[in-house]
Amino acid sequence: MQPKNLQRLLRALGRQGLDVTYSDVYDGLRLRTYSVRLANSPDTPAAEVLLPEGFPVEAKALKQLANLANVRHPAGGCVCRACATPDFHPGDAGVAIGSVVETVDQVIPGAVGSDINCGMRLHVADLTIDEFLKKRDLFVERMKGDYFFGTRDVTMTAHTMRALFQYGVPGWLDAMLDNATGSVVKSDLQQLSQECDRIFLDGSMNGNWKLAPAELVPDDGLVRDGGLGTIGSGNHFVEVQRVDKVENRALAHAWGVREGQLAFMIHSGSRNVGKYIGGMWRDRAKAAWPQGLKYPESHIFPLSAHSHPELVASYLAAEATAANYGFINRLLLAELLRLRLREVYGDIEAPLVYDLPHNITLPSADSGDKANSQSKIARWVTRKGACPAYVGQPVIIPGSMGAYSYLMVGKGNPAFCHSASHGAGRVRSRFELNRKGASHTEAELGLTGVDCITLREERRIEEAPAAYKPIQSVIDVQVEANMVDVVARLSPILTFKA
C-alpha cells in the first residue's frame, strides 16, 4: 500500500476509536501485520493480525477483533492475548471469523458462536484417480442418496444418544458396540474406536468432553435425530481429492499419506445442536451480566470464573455436548463415504488422517503446566473460524471449491495463539453473488471445470472460487510467519454441497 493511502486508512480507523499500528516487517521478514486495540482501553492486549499479499484489511473486522480483545468481566476475567488469522473477515454476531483469544478466569460464549465445532476431517485411500473415475457416476449416485436424501433421521436408543453427548466418539462407539448387530459390523467399530483413541484421547482435549449435561436426552426409549450424517450449508462440504504433491515425506509417511492416493476432506459441524446451544448461552451470558452495570458497547458477554464458576462449568459442558455431536457428525459423513467406496471399488480401508475443530474453547496450551496449576489461574483459548496449529500436530486447510487444499503441520507460534487459518477467507458475500439481476458467467465465477454435486444451483454460485481469496497467498504468509509448514497439497476431484 502507498504510504499516503496507509496514512488515510489509519486515520479512518482512528476515527472509529481504533488504535492501529501497521508494520511491513514481522520477525525480521517482509510480512504485513496490523496491531489493533480500542483507543480508550490502552491496558488491553493489542490484537495481532497477519495479512496475505494483495488484500486490504477490513475495518469492520478489525473493530470486531479489538472489541473481542477488550472483553473483561467486572467480577474478574480478561483477555490476555488476541489475534486473527489471514483469512479473517467480519462476523454477523459482532465477532470476526478468524479470531482467536486466550482468556484468563473467563470464557466468552459469543467468541465461539453458534457453529460449535465446525471443523475439518481428512481420510486417505489406496485407490488411483483413474480407478476412481472409471466408476465415478455410480459412486456419485450412491453418495447423493446418502448425503442428500438418505439419512434424514438416525434412530438410536436414549442410552446411545446420551453416550454421544456426554462421552463423545469413544463413549458413543462403546454404546454402539454393546448392541452392534446386522449392518453395524463390530470389527469396523473397533477399528474406529482405535482411531478415536489416537485422535481424542491423546491429551489434547484434556478430558474436556466428559462434561455434557445429562438432562439433554430422555432416560429411555428411542431418539430420532435429523442432523447426524448431514453436511449442512454455507461453506461446508465433502470433497474427493487427490494427494497431489507431498512436500514433507517423513511426516506424510508417518501420517499414512502418499502421493497419488485418493483422499476425502470433510468440512462440517454440529448442525442444529450447536446453533441451539450457542444461541442459548449467548443469551445466558448477557443475562448474567452484573445488575445495574451498563452493557459493554460490543455486546459480547463473558462468564466470570470468579463470580459464576458454575456458569462457566455449565457452558463448557454444553459446548462440549455440541462439540461431541460435531465430531460424530463428521465421523458419520466419513463412514457413509467409506461404505460406498467399499461397495463400488472393493475392500479399501480409507483410514483417518486427522479431525480438527475450528470453533471451540480449549484449555490453554499453557494451563497444564506446573506454574499455572499452583497459581490456580484458569486459562482458555477460544477459536472462531481458526484451526489449532500446535507443534507437530496435523493442520488441515481447505481452499475454495476447485482450488488446492493443504495438509500441514503446526509450528505452535504463540504470537498467533497456536493457530492457523480455517480456509482462504471470503471476500464477496453470498448476497452479492446471488442477488436478483446479478448474472455471472461460469468463467467469472471461477467454476470452469469444477465438479460440484448439489441439488441447489445457488450453492455453487455462493461458494464459487470468485467468492474467496486465492488460497496460495493465505498459505504462503502463514508458512513465512512460522505458524505452519506444508506436508502435502491436495487437488479437488469432486465436491458435494448440500
The interface with DNA within residues 115-154 (CB under 7 A) comprises 115, 118, 152-153
Least Å distance between CB 110 and DNA?
12
**3-state helix, strand and coil shares in percent for the chain, rounded to the nearest 5:** 35, 25, 40
Following DSSP, what letter does each residue of 250-267 receive, concatenated? Answer: HHHHHTT--TT-EEEEEE
Least Å distance between CB 225 and DNA?
9
Least Å distance between CB 70 and DNA?
24
Per the annotation, does 5 bind a ligand?
A: no
Please state, in angstroms and rounded to a whole number, the distance separating the CA atoms of residues 165 and 270.
11
The answer to whether 233 contacts DNA (rule: CB under 7 A) is yes
Question: Can you list the alpha helix ranges (DSSP code H) found in 23-71?
Answer: 59-69
- One of 73, 308, 418, 422 is an active-site residue; which one? 422
Least Å distance between CB 185 and DNA?
26
Per the annotation, does 60 bind a ligand?
A: no
Q: Which is nearer to DNA, 308 or 384 (CB)?
A: 384
Q: Which is nearer to DNA, 360 or 365 (CB)?
A: 360
Burial (0-12, 13-18, 19+ Cβ within 10 Å), 189: middle
For residues 36 and 20, the answer to whether their CB atoms sit within 8 Å is: yes
Per the annotation, does 402 bind a ligand?
A: no
3-state DSSP assignment of residue 273: helix
Indicate the pairing of strand 379-384 with strand 352-357: unpaired
Q: Which is nearer to DNA, 193 or 272 (CB)?
A: 272
Could you tell me the CA-to-CA distances from 82 to 68, 357, 419 in Å, in that order? 8, 18, 11
Q: Which stretch binds DNA (CB under 7 A): 265-273, 293-301, 443-451, 464-472?
A: 265-273
Please state, in angstroms and rounded to a whole number, the distance separating the CA atoms of residues 163 and 176.
9
Least Å distance between CB 435 and DNA?
10
**DSSP H or E segment with residue 343:** helix 309-345
For residues 275 and 114, the answer to whether their CB atoms sit within 8 Å is: yes
Beta-sheet strand order (sheet of 18-23): 18-23, 32-38, 47-51, 78-89, 97-104, 379-384, 360-363
Question: Which of 336, 331, 473, 478 lies closest to 395 in space, CA to CA?
Answer: 478
Q: Which is nearer to DNA, 332 or 481 (CB)?
A: 332
Least Å distance between CB 176 and DNA?
22
Least Å distance between CB 118 and DNA?
6
Q: Which is nearer to DNA, 114 or 382 (CB)?
A: 114
**Quick check: is 299 catalytic?**
no
For residues 100 and 84, the answer to whether their CB atoms sit within 8 Å is: yes
Size of the site for DNA (CB under 7 A): 20
Per the annotation, does 227 bind a ligand?
A: no
Following DSSP, what letter does each residue of 123-175 receive, concatenated? Answer: EEES--HHHHHHTHHHHHHHHHIIIIII-S-EEEEHHHHHHHHHHHHHHHHHH
Q: Which is nearer to DNA, 43 or 149 (CB)?
A: 149
Per the annotation, does 259 bind a ligand?
A: no
Least Å distance between CB 140 and DNA?
21
Q: Which stretch binds DNA (CB under 7 A): 198-206, 247-255, 269-277, 404-412?
A: 269-277
Question: Which of 376, 427, 407, 359 lies closest to 118 in space, CA to CA?
Answer: 359
The answer to whether 234 contacts DNA (rule: CB under 7 A) is yes
Q: What x-and-dash track marks residues 203-232 binding DNA by CB under 7 A?
A: -----------------------xx--x-x
Q: What x-and-dash track marks residues 70-99 binding DNA by CB under 7 A?
A: ----------------------x----x--
Per the annotation, does 235 bind a ligand?
A: yes
Q: Which is nearer to DNA, 227 or 394 (CB)?
A: 227
**DSSP H or E segment with residue 434:** helix 430-434
Q: Which is nearer to DNA, 229 or 470 (CB)?
A: 229
For residues 271 and 164, the answer to whether their CB atoms sit within 8 Å is: no
Lookup: cell for 114: 453458534
Per the annotation, does 473 bind a ligand?
A: no
Lookup: cell for 321: 455436548
Per the annotation, does 324 bind a ligand?
A: no
Q: Which stretch binds DNA (CB under 7 A): 104-112, 113-121, 203-211, 387-395?
A: 113-121
Per the annotation, does 267 bind a ligand?
A: yes
The interface with DNA within residues 329-348 (CB under 7 A) comprises none
Beta strands in 288-359 (DSSP E): 303-304, 352-357
The interface with DNA within residues 389-428 (CB under 7 A) comprises none
Count the alpha carbons within 13 Å of 18 in the hemisphere toward its beta carbon: 26
Per the annotation, does 102 bind a ligand?
A: no
- Residues making up the annotated binding site for Mn(2+) are 115, 236, 267, 358
Residues of this chain that bind DNA (CB under 7 A): 92, 97, 114-115, 118, 152-153, 226-227, 230, 232-236, 268-269, 271-272, 275
Detail the residues annotated as belonging to a binding site: 115, 235-239, 267, 358-359, 398-401, 405, 422-425, 497
Annotated binding site for GMP: which residue ranges? 235-239, 358-359, 398-401, 405, 422-425, 497
Active site amino acids: 422
